[in-house]
Chains A and B, each alone.
Chain A
């Protein structure tokens, strides 16, 4: 047991691993770039928010209220005005041709009717081919034609003042929910893969025995393998965090230092999980299969994509077995709700506990497997 917690030789292993990582800059670039790319790909793919629906406008009115309405359309995330047409036939034709998904017909005397309080109707045409787009476009069209223009009438002092950010972006929350979840997911995937081959790779290359005759201790080897990848993972985290903030425009409500510290802790847990796999697998192929075995269910039950409170109870319980579940709670808590340690400790403690447990298990497993 004392041999298990022998940290000697850790520095040597860190030195070696860092040299090996830096030897192939392309691998390093991949390791850092892949999570960001995955985040971008998945972040857009998984987004249920319907945004930038191309639309056409037929403005028969040309008054200030019509212009305010079009500005509102253009300023919204939901619609992009890509066409102005000069008759109704072209308006429908644009939808039929697939050039736009929605079309708006602003009737003559729209401004005048509006100011006179006569509730004029804007004609909105929505392409029903894609039901998701159709529903959102339909809903947004109603919102657009109703509330803001009523506000406009009420606030007659500044008839051009429209507030599209507040009112036209009700779907902003979708990215806030999904992107932090995806960050947890892509970070877990890459970090498990990084270390899953660490020990079994040495075994397959025949270098493990040569390592084991040195005075390098079990814990020294395990931590030595882990630390360089924590540095890599920290870079990955920085990349995806920048993606979250500046590509998806998700504001971080909470303390960013706390977020970084807890994220780094999670990355160590996840790297440790990879290391554990690496001590169990006999070949690199086995290690990869085991990693996939962990990764796939964690997509489903961790809450990264699907809201956990909507899952059946056994699935919710299963989620508690996976460290990622806690990290995603932490991520969403800090990013969206601005939560601190006081609110998050029920997730922080189990996550850290898992980290220690996994590391000890990996060390024990390694010590057993190498002295037959």
Chain B
């Protein structure tokens, strides 16, 4: 159960001189939800495409469900499900026809198709829309249909490239609840996302930036990395009524290391000798509104990205 389901070993992809994915190493345990994060253009989709056999690695190798992605591409295809970015099904086919097509594509017999179709339709709850043209479904239902198609042949590993991009919060929540149910049944999910709340829910994460993995591990492990909050510093959250004014104030502080706005709060990293009370006084807010905080994942990624940019 805990054998790694996906293993990347010095996986690299270059297009000419441009290295898109650079020497990436990590592994994903079976039956977990793995979050793959990074800004747009950082190499997320290219990594997924290499793992799915859509893009040939320049060097290094990767195994998915125990099969080498290059030399055992056929076995990999049967073992994985893939949900591409955006709507990637046939809008001019009905929900039922889309499922039927993928069932046939995997060479399933008529009876197997019927049984599996019934199963995935029940899993994602799309039964009442079977005869709808998939182009006419809402974004949330289109994603569910895509998931149903990806699950139809009962893959052990499922790749989801930004599955929740552009869908409403309720549909987003529902989709994630579904992923947890499926993961607990033993499937491994490799998910890319820009949403930090989704990242928090992953069993483990990797953060890729400009082709390099800057961090990997569980959300807790990543947040407590020394790079995020260096040993001689401390992190405070400042609640304020005038975010912009307070943010300006923080930049006058001699001991400031970093400041980032999070909604109505400002997260700062300062010299560890600075007490909350002094910080509150210096930026002109009530002492009760400054308290030490554990870095959030977003803090972590911002810190990692700034550090990488500075290097």
Taking beta carbons and an 8 Å cutoff, which residues of A are in contact with B? 3, 8-9, 11-13, 15-16, 19-20, 23-24, 205-207, 209-216, 370-372
A19 near B107 (CB under 8 angstroms)? no
Assess the B54–A23 pair: CB atoms within 8 A: no
Complex CA gap A214/B79 in Å reads 10
Q: Are B105 and A215 touching (Cβ within 8 A)?
A: yes
CB distance from B76 to the nearest CB of A (A): 9
Let me know if B80 is at the binding interface, CB within 8 A: yes
**Contact flags B38-65 to A (C-beta < 8 A → 1, else 0):** 0000000000010011111000000000
Point out the residue from A24, A207, A215 that lies within 8 Å of B78, measured CB to CB: A215
Q: Which residue of A lies closest to B101 (CB)?
A: A16
Residues of B within 8 A of A215 (CB): 74, 77-78, 105-107
Contact B93 A213 (CB under 8 A): no
Given A16-B93, A372-B56: A9 touches B88 (CB 8 Å cut-off): no
Contact of B90 among A20, A209, A213, A370 (CB under 8 A): A20
- B78 near A20 (CB under 8 angstroms)? no
Contact A209 B107 (CB under 8 A): no
Neighbour of A11 across the interface among B55, B104, B149, CB < 8 A: B104
B-side contacts of A211, CB under 8 Å: 105
User: Is B102 an interface position by the 8 A CB rule?
Assistant: yes
Q: CB < 8 Å: which of B80, B85, B92 contacts A24?
A: B92
| Sample of 6 A–B contacts (CB below 8 Å) | A9-B104, A209-B88, A212-B53, A213-B53, A214-B105, A215-B77
Contacts of B86 in A (CB 8 A): 206
A11 to B15 alpha-carbon distance, docked (Å): 35
Q: Is B132 part of the contact surface with A, judged by Cβ < 8 Å?
A: no
A370 to B56, CA, bound (A): 10
How many A-B contacts are there with CB distance less than 8 Å?
79
Instruction: Decide yes or no whether B87 CB sits under 8 A from chain A.
Output: yes
| Beta-carbon contact of B77 and A23 below 8 Å | no
Q: Is B234 an interface residue (CB 8 A)?
A: no
Taking CB atoms, residues of chain B closer than 8 Å to A16 are: 90, 93, 97, 101
Inter-chain contact B100/A210, CB cutoff 8 Å: no
- For residue B55, which residues in chain A have a CB less than 8 angstroms away from its CB? 371-372
Chain A residue with Cβ nearest B93: A19
B88→A206 contact, CB < 8 A: yes
B92 pairs with A20, CB closer than 8 A: yes
Q: How far is the CA of A371 from the CA of B56 in the complex (A)?
A: 6
Q: How far is the CA of A371 from the CA of B85 in the complex (A)?
A: 18
Q: How far does the Cβ of A15 sit from chain B's closest Cβ, in whole Å?
A: 6
Pick the 8 closest A-B CB pairs, nearest first: A12-B104, A213-B82, A214-B105, A12-B105, A210-B88, A16-B101, A206-B88, A209-B84
Beyond A206-B87, A214-B105, A215-B74, 18 additional contacts (C-beta under 8 Å) are A9-B104, A12-B104, A15-B104, A16-B90, A19-B97, A20-B90, A20-B92, A23-B92, A206-B86, A207-B88, A209-B82, A211-B105, A213-B52, A213-B81, A215-B107, A371-B53, A371-B54, A371-B56
List B contacts of A15 (CB < 8 A).
Answer: 100-101, 104
What is the bound-complex CA distance between A19 and B99, given in angstroms?
13
Q: Please determine whether B78 and A23 come into contact, CB atoms closer than 8 angstroms.
A: no
Q: Give which listed residue, A23, A207, A213, contacts B80 with CB less than 8 A.
A: A213
A258 to chain B, nearest CB (A): 35
Most buried by B among A3, A12, A207, A210: A210
Q: Is residue B269 contacting chain A, with contact meaning CB distance below 8 A?
A: no
Which positions in B face A, CB cutoff 8 Å? 15, 49, 52-56, 73-74, 77-78, 80-93, 97, 100-107, 149
Contacts of A8 in B (CB 8 A): 107
A213 and B54 within 8 A (CB): yes
Q: Is the CB–CB distance between A209 and B105 below 8 Å?
A: no
For B103, list chain A residues within 8 Å (CB): 12
A206 close to B84 (CB less than 8 A): yes
A177 and B31 alpha carbons, distance in the complex (Å): 71
Complex CA–CA separation, A215 to B97 (angstroms): 18
Q: Which residue of B lies closest to A8 (CB)?
A: B107
Distance of A213 Cα from B69 Cα, bound (Å): 12
Complex CA distance for A280 and B251, rounded to whole angstroms:
55
- Cα-based distance from A213 to B88 in the complex (angstroms): 12
- Complexed CA–CA distance, A209 and B73 (Å): 14
Q: What separation, in Å, do the CA atoms of A298 and B81 have in the docked complex?
A: 45
Cα–Cα distance between A24 and B83 once the two chains are bound (Å): 27
Do the beta carbons of B107 and A9 come within 8 Å of each other? Answer: yes
| In the bound complex, CA of A9 to CA of B85 (Å) | 23
Complex: A19 Cα to B96 Cα, angstroms: 12
Residue of B nearest to A6 (CB): B74
Please give the distance in Å from B183's CB to the nearest CB on chain A: 20
Residue in B15, B80, B105 whose beta carbon sits within 8 Å of that of A216 in the complex? B105
Instruction: Tell which of B54, B89, B92 touches A212, judged by Cβ atoms closer than 8 Å.
Output: B54
B82: A residues at CB distance < 8 A: 209-210, 213
- Nearest CB of chain A from residue B146's CB, rounded to whole Å: 8
**Beta-carbon contact of A210 and B77 below 8 Å:** no
Q: Complex formed: what's the CA distance from A214 to B107 in Å?
A: 10
With contact pairs A215-B107, A371-B55 given, residues A210 and B84 touching in the complex (Cβ less than 8 Å): yes
- Min CB–CB distance B218 → chain A (angstroms): 28
Whether A209 pairs with B92 at a CB distance below 8 angstroms is no
List chain A residues, Cβ under 8 A from B90. Answer: 16, 20, 207
A13: chain B residues within 8 A (beta carbon): 105
* Closest CB in chain B relative to A194 CB, distance in Å: 16
Are A214 and B92 in contact, CB atoms less than 8 angstroms apart? no
Chain B's closest residue to A371 (CB) is B56
Collect the chain A residues with CB atoms within 8 Å of residue B149's CB: 210
Chain B proximity of A361: nearest CB distance (Å): 21
With a CB–CB cut-off of 8 A, which chain A residues contact B54?
209, 212-213, 370-371
Q: How many angstroms between the C-alpha atoms of A273 and B149 in the bound complex?
A: 32
Which of A3, A20, A210, A216 meets B93, CB within 8 Å? Answer: A20
**In this complex, what residue of A is CB-closest to B55?**
A372
Distance from A205 Cβ to chain B, minimum over Cβ atoms (Å): 8
| Chain B contacts for A205, CB-based, 8 A | 88, 91
From residue A181, how far is it (CB to closest CB) to chain B in Å? 36
> Please, which residues of chain B bring their CB within 8 A of the CB of A206?
84-88
Q: Quick one: closest A residue to B98, CB to CB?
A: A16
Given A12-B101, A16-B101, A372-B56, A210-B106 contact (CB < 8 Å): no
